[in-house]
Chains A and B, each alone.
Chain A
Amino acid sequence: MSVVPVRTEALSKVFYDESRGEVRAVDSVDITCSPGEIFGLLGANGAGKTTTLRMLSTVLRPTSGQAWLMGHEVRDAPERVRENLGFYSASTALYPKITPRETLRFFARVNRYPRRRIEARVDELIERFSLESYADTRVEKLSGGMKQKVSIARTVAHDPPVLIFDEPTVALDVLNAIELREIIARLRSEGKAILFSTHVMSEAEQLCDRIGIIHHGAILATGTLDQLREATGRHYLEEVFVHYAGMRGKIGT
């Protein structure tokens, strides 16, 4: 039998803030993601995308609700979860003093990739992401585009079944962003379950198989782009988003 790679049930996160008191950053979120699928979390800044993904990557502990990655619960088996997970975000930088090859070796090793196969895996990654020409140059001397490629290679170094990309294109130029999207698409075709968060509508439109619209910590709607269009009667995702967000806003007030 096969497990669902990513599944959450009423996942919530409450922060205590000295000035604002209780803040519900994530409120009963239920999402799933299957192999070979890209699930997009679409929301404005501060909507709870990053918090949700951080809970999935076990950096944050859920206040309530549950989440499973490859059948492992995030609170009960955090290491198992991270073993099956590649996490990429604009703020996961590389170590400047080591080379790409050493970077890949380190992350494969520390993420418990079988020891005997590490060297072969590193060579394979270098070839696949065309890092040959600078595989032994220190990361600090690489250009932004090169670093980005190394960074993605780093994310998949231990060949995890689940990948999380948290606003990956935020700091990238157009060409690099395109290249990144291509790589993500390629990873989907390899059967990875991919969670992808963004606030850029066109990106979500192009890339995602299913989209969850998140606003003020709650998922307002989930479905394929067509399903969402149908449900709202709008064509452009932007309009769809404004429709939901605006509705919620009205209800709230």
Chain B
Amino acid sequence: MELRQIWTLYVHELRSALRERSIVVFSIIIPLVLYPGLLWAGLAAFSFVEGQAERIALEVGVHGLPDRHQSLLDTLDVADRLSAQEWVGSSEEGREEISRGGLDVLVEFVPPDDEGGALEHNFRLRITYHGARDRSRTAREAVESVVDSYREGWIDEARQELGVDAAVWADFRVIQDDLTTAEEGTRFLLGLMVPFLTLIVVALATFYPAIDATAGERERGTWETLMTVAAPRANVATAKYLYVATLGAVGGLLNMIALTLSLRWIFQPVLGAEGQDMIQGGIPLGAFPIIAAGTVLLGLFVAAGMLIFAVFARNFKEGQSMVTPFYIAVILPAIFLQSPDIEFTTALALAPVVNVALLIREAIMGSIPPLQSALTLGSMAVCVALSVVFAQWVMRREEVLVGSQRGGLGGFLRRRVRGRRREA
């Protein structure tokens, strides 16, 4: 292998790609304009819903309120967003009104059952609501919490009348103390999302260059030109491979940076008004080298895989449908990785792609397990080496060189096996 020759070929590939306006524009515009744009749309929608919700009063109809509990109606009416009014119609009419959407909930006072009837002035509340509507469910929850505190007050009053000592009655309090700091919580959330996004953006950034460097060259007719230059095929393959891996890793990193700039703010609407305090800090600085290394490893691996599939395609369209299965196969495991329950075990550290995602997650959360990191590095290096060797072997086959094969990788392998058998 001549490094200088590989370099010449590599620079040549990169130059052509960088002069392609659509590639450059899209690898810049997507992270730079699209993510912030979508982010803004989300924030605007959230602000809109919030503003809208503030202005809508939830209509509560109250029926059969005993005089003894008149204060409950007042409490309901002053409660946040609730507007309580006497309902004069029947239950049946109330239900219809709820179905129509004119009323959110109907609160009916009914006599308690036999056991509960032992308490004077006791009642049962029947809350009629519409389970398929947000408004109605919110109203029901609000009414229930008002009734809960009303009940508390009632019982406490009774306790005082009965002369039960407050301290004896209260006995103990339970306090939950979450030792996770806001920074740790933020890292936790980032740790769930960033590896997944890294994988997607690397795969996406590799997808088009891989097809372009193979099927695209065939389509433009430059493939044969390249095959007759005095460079060993292995060098041509290596240069192409490095080029695809470069674009994958660089594109992945660019996207990552753009996404992390927007990502924290995506959480905010999810977490609501308190989000500001809950989202603090970000990815720890120490994790960036790991993320970068992981992105490069992923780029190297995904590029080799995609080239193996793409090299059989004769035009862009064919290339696309040939690479798609591999693309899906790379992305799929990541979907299930979003569960925080999965631990980064030594066994998982040997599974390619998955291990990089987990390593990035661990790094973001602040710990870098040495054994698993080494295993990840090792297994990815082996996978990359194997797939590069395989890619070079495939690219040296002459039906691939000339483009006379039919079908994709599967058909090619089938023919190879059959061919062997015939030779034997």
Contacts and interface: CB of A to CB of B under 8 A. Distances in A.
Contact of A110 (B5, B224, B398): B5
B398 A61 contact: yes
Interface stretch (B87-95, B226-234, B286-294, B325-333): B226-234
A119 interface: no
Interface stretch (A84-92, A173-181, A184-192, A214-222): A84-92
Contacts of B12: 95, 98, 106, 110
9 contacts: A60-B401, A79-B230, A92-B224, A93-B225, A94-B222, A97-B20, A102-B15, A110-B8, A112-B230
A42 to B, nearest CB: 22
A209 interface: no
B351 to A, nearest CB: 37
A107 B9 CA distance: 9
B339 interface: no
B227 A110 contact: no
Interface residues of A, number: 34
B68 interface: no
B390 to A, nearest CB: 20
Interface residues of B, number: 26
A61 B422 CA distance: 19
Given A59-B402, A82-B229, A91-B224, A97 B19 contact: yes
A111 B229 contact: yes
A82 B224 CA distance: 13
The 4 closest A-B pairs by CB, nearest first: A93-B221, A83-B230, A87-B228, A97-B19
Given A83-B230, A97-B19, 13 more contacts: A18-B415, A54-B402, A59-B224, A59-B228, A61-B398, A79-B231, A82-B231, A85-B228, A85-B230, A92-B224, A92-B228, A96-B220, A98-B16
Given A54-B402, A109-B8, A59 B16 contact: no
B8 to A, nearest CB: 5
A219 to B, nearest CB: 22
Contacts of A54: 402
Nearest to A92: B225
B15 A107 contact: no
What DSSP secondary structure best describes chain B's contact surface? Answer: helix
B163 interface: no
B419 interface: yes
A58 to B, nearest CB: 8
Given A110-B5, A110-B9, A93 B15 contact: no
Contacts of A96: 16, 220
Interface in A93-151: 93-98, 102, 106-107, 109-112, 138
A57 interface: yes
Interface in A43-86: 54, 57-61, 78-80, 82-83, 85
A16 B404 CA distance: 11
A92 B221 CA distance: 6
B398 A94 contact: no
A149 to B, nearest CB: 15
Nearest to A54: B402
A112 B415 CA distance: 36
A158 interface: yes
A129 B12 CA distance: 23
A110 B7 CA distance: 9
B281 to A, nearest CB: 44
Contact of A16 (B8, B16, B419): B419
A159 to B, nearest CB: 12
Nearest to A115: B4
Contact of A97 (B15, B221, B224): B15
A138 B402 contact: no
Contact of A93 (B8, B9, B222): B222
Contacts of A83: 230
B8 A106 contact: yes
Contacts of A91: 221, 224
A112 B228 CA distance: 13
A119 to B, nearest CB: 15
Contacts of B9: 110
Interface string A203-246: 00000000000000000000000000000000000000000000
Interface string B213-250: 00000001110110111111000000000000000000
A247 to B, nearest CB: 30
B75 to A, nearest CB: 74
